[in-house]
């Protein structure tokens, strides 16, 4: 009986994979893999519908890259400070704060982004609409911050004290020690934190839906209204039918493939960290 | 200059790193404070008894979130009720019964994979699996969240099973107890705190979930009864927030819901810290 329960997780993964394949592959075949993946125009409700998802793929990649570019340095630096320099009191206060940040529902991020970030960007950069790739990048950067900080702190805390003592005894200053000895020693853990952040950012739907503007443009500029892979699925699902609906499942399949790749990398890094 | 102990380059490096670190911690702290204060200031004045205790009515143009609160509770209870035995059972299998290393690794890999899948994909699969057969309803939403939270419960239980001393098990076996009896009387009571931690973490995830519920549990705002109402569609607080903010432009209500969600998040984090602290204490005994 317990074996059955243990196998449920495996069953769920198989079920998800099979269902996504069954519902996602037909549309890809019908549209043609090249047209689907590299088509630059998405017009699912036009008289002559076009199903090219390159704009979504690129938006997701740019958006994630931007979030990593903004979020990782801040998260990494905070993690080093919290793990090595902060007083125990500050560390515990900040850790609760970071947990809170992690626990805030994504729709709340979306709401605040909609009312603070979007008008802010419009005024600051003098663009007609603030709902843009840039707004999504900032929201995503904030949302991945807690995962990055938490995981990096755990990795840095696990660095053997002897390494640092040895470096200090050789005359290195504390800060030099932390960045040149502790950080390299914790590098797979920190890399795993970054990969986890990538996974979070690429999979986030609701917050992005509320701030990115949701128009299927190619992401040519930071201030363009764009649609991510995740939001492409959810924004048309409610009223879709036929090939359009199938194409949405194909988008989900593409997203799933991305996520599985990221998971594989994450698992590899975590295994190395354990060793 | 006699004793210049540090070269200028090293001094600059140190100062630069220090500034960058403090700046980063400052930004993080400021973000948390800003979000907290902004949402509470904008939301709390909008929380009225009428909002909390009525359902929306187009006739009187009244907005109430009572149905959404109830739906959230229903989904929370239903999912936890179903996921608990499954997750705890799986964890017991992994740490007490499993002897096949390969199978063990496979199950753990599956759990890792499940926890990495984004909620929008759960929403889609939940729609295909559950909503297509039983219709868009609270039950379908709850079942979707069961799959999503399985790894959370599994991992928390497993962690706590590891802290049950091997000697307890050996003692019980030595007294002639069978495997199942040992699990039931020695192992299970020992992992209660892990199960509770798992529940709290899962509850946090369920409360904040929206993408997975959009297409499985629907948007309706009517008060549903238990248990028959589980077959009807209903919006949770998060979904209601999304609908009110994005589709209806009712930002006052949206912020009121956001403030309620914020309170719940704080409460859940607080509870998780308390349980975890007790857990640590016991581990160090």
Residues B100 and B23 in one domain: no
Pick from A100, A142, A259: which is nearest to B269 by CB?
A100
For chain B, the domain total comes to 2
Residues B118 and B200 in one domain: yes
Q: Would B3 be classed as within a structural domain? A: no
pLDDT at B283: 65
Residues B166 and B213 in one domain: yes
Reduced to 3 DSSP states, what percent helix, strand and coil does chain A have, rounded to the nearest 5? 80, 0, 20
Instruction: Classify the C-alpha dihedral B42-B44-B47-B48 as positive or negative.
Output: negative
Chain A contacts in chain B segment 12-51 (CB below 8 A):
13-14, 17-18, 20-25, 27-29, 31-32, 35-36, 38-39
Q: Poorest-confidence range of A163-167, B228-232, B235-239?
A: B228-232
Q: Is B279 on the interface with A (CB under 8 A)?
A: no
Q: Is A257 on the interface with B (CB under 8 A)?
A: no
Q: Would B213 be classed as within a structural domain? A: yes
With tokens 């497993």, the residue in question is: B158
Give dist(CA B47, CA A105) in Å, integer: 19
Residues B156 and B262 in one domain: yes
Residues B146 and B39 in one domain: no
SS3 label, residue A50: strand
Residues B130 and B29 in one domain: no
ipTM score here?
Answer: 0.89
Question: What's the domain range around B42?
Answer: 8-46
Residues B39 and B105 in one domain: no
Q: What residues of B are in contact with residue A104 (Cβ under 8 Å)? A: 35, 208, 261-262, 265
Residues B92 and B208 in one domain: yes
Q: Would B1 be classed as within a structural domain? A: no
Q: Is B94 on the interface with A (CB under 8 A)?
A: yes
Q: Would B2 be classed as within a structural domain? A: no
User: Does pLDDT of B77 surpass 70?
Assistant: yes
Residues B30 and B69 in one domain: no
Q: Identify the CATH number of the domain in which residue B221 sits.
A: 1.10.3720.10
Residue of A nearest to B274 (CA): A96
Residues B20 and B127 in one domain: no
- Please write the tens of the pLDDT for every residue from B174-211: 998 888 888 888 888 888 888 998 999 999 999 999 98
pLDDT at B285: 59
Q: What residues of A are in contact with residue B215 (Cβ under 8 Å)? A: 234, 237-238
Residues B38 and B69 in one domain: no
**Residues ≥6 apart with Cβ < 8 Å to B231:** B134, B135, B137, B138, B139
Contact A6 B17 (CB under 8 A): no
Pick from A77, A101, A202: which is nearest to B24 by CB?
A77
Give mean pLDDT, residues B236-257. 90
Q: How many CB atoms lie within 10 A of CB B125?
A: 26
Give dist(CA B228, CA B213) in Å, integer: 19
- Please write the tens of the pLDDT for every residue from A148-196: 999 999 999 999 999 999 999 998 889 999 999 999 999 989 999 999 9
Kindly list the averaged pLDDT for each block of 10 residues, start to end, along chain A of length 275. Answer: 83 92 89 85 81 92 95 96 93 93 93 93 88 94 95 93 92 90 92 92 92 87 90 83 86 92 88 76
Contact A13 B268 (CB under 8 A): no
Residues B193 and B99 in one domain: yes
Q: What is the 3-state secondary structure (H, E, C) of A192-220?
A: HHHHHHHHHHHHCCHHHHHHCECCCCCCC
Give dist(CA A156, CA A184) in Å, integer: 10
Contact A105 B208 (CB under 8 A): yes
pLDDT at B1: 45
List the domains of chain A with CATH numbers: 23-274 (1.10.3720.10)
Give mean pLDDT, residues B219-245. 85
Pull the structure tokens for residue B241.
């927030």
């Amino acid at each position: 009986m317990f074996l059955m329960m243990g196998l449920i997780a495996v069953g769920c993964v198989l079920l998800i994979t099979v269902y996504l394949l069954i519902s996602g592959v037909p549309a890809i075949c019908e549209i043609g893999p090249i047209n689907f993946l590299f088509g630059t125009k998405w017009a699912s409700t036009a008289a002559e519908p076009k199903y090219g998802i390159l704009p979504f793929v690129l938006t997701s990649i740019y958006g994630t890259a931007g979030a990593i570019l903004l979020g990782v340095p801040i998260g990494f630096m905070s993690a080093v400070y919290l793990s090595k320099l902060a007083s125990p009191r500050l560390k515990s206060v900040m850790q609760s704060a970071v947990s809170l940040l992690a626990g805030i529902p994504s729709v709340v991020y979306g709401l605040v982004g909609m009312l603070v970030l979007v008008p802010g960007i419009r005024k600051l950069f003098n663009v007609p609409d603030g709902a843009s790739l840039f707004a999504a990048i900032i929201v995503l950067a904030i949302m991945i911050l807690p995962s990055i900080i938490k995981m990096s702190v755990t990795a840095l805390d696990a660095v053997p004290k002897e390494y640092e003592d040895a470096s200090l005894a050789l005359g290195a200053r504390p800060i030099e020690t932390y960045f040149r000895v502790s950080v390299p020693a914790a590098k797979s853990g920190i890399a795993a934190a970054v990969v986890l952040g990538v996974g979070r950012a690429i999979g986030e739907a609701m917050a992005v839906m509320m701030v990115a503007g949701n128009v299927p443009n190619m992401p040519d500029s930071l201030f363009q209204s764009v649609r991510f892979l995740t939001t492409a699925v959810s924004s048309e699902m409610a009223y879709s039918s036929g090939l359009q609906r199938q194409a949405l499942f194909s988008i989900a399949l593409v997203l799933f493939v991305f996520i599985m790749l990221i998971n594989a990398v994450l698992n590899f890094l975590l295994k190395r960290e354990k060793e | 200059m006699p004793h210049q102990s540090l070269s200028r380059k090293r001094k600059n490096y140190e100062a630069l790193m220090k500034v960058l670190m403090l700046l980063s911690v400052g930004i993080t702290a400021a973000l948390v404070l800003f979000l907290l204060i902004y949402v509470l200031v904008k939301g709390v004045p909008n929380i009225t008894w009428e909002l909390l205790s009525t359902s929306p009515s187009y006739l009187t143009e009244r907005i109430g979130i009572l149905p959404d609160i109830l739906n959230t509770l229903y989904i929370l209870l239903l999912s936890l009720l179903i996921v608990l035995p499954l997750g705890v059972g799986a964890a017991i299998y992994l740490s007490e019964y499993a002897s096949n290393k390969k199978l063990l690794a496979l199950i753990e890999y599956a759990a890792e994979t499940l926890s990495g899948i984004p909620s929008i994909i759960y929403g889609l699969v939940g729609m295909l699996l559950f909503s297509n057969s039983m219709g868009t309803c609270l039950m379908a939403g709850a079942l979707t969240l069961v799959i999503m939270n399985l790894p959370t419960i599994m991992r928390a239980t497993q962690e706590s099973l590891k802290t049950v001393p091997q000697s307890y098990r050996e003692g019980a076996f030595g007294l002639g107890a069978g495997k199942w009896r040992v699990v039931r009387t020695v192992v299970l009571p020992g992992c209660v705190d892990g199960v509770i931690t798992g529940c709290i973490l899962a509850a946090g995830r369920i409360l904040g979930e929206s993408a997975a519920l959009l297409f499985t549990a629907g948007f309706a705002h009517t008060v549903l009864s238990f248990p028959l109402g589980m077959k009807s569609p209903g919006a949770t607080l998060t979904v209601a927030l999304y609908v009110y903010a994005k589709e209806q432009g009712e930002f006052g209500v949206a912020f009121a819901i956001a403030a309620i969600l914020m309170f719940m998040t704080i409460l859940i984090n607080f509870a998780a810290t308390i349980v975890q602290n007790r857990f640590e204490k016991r581990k160090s005994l």
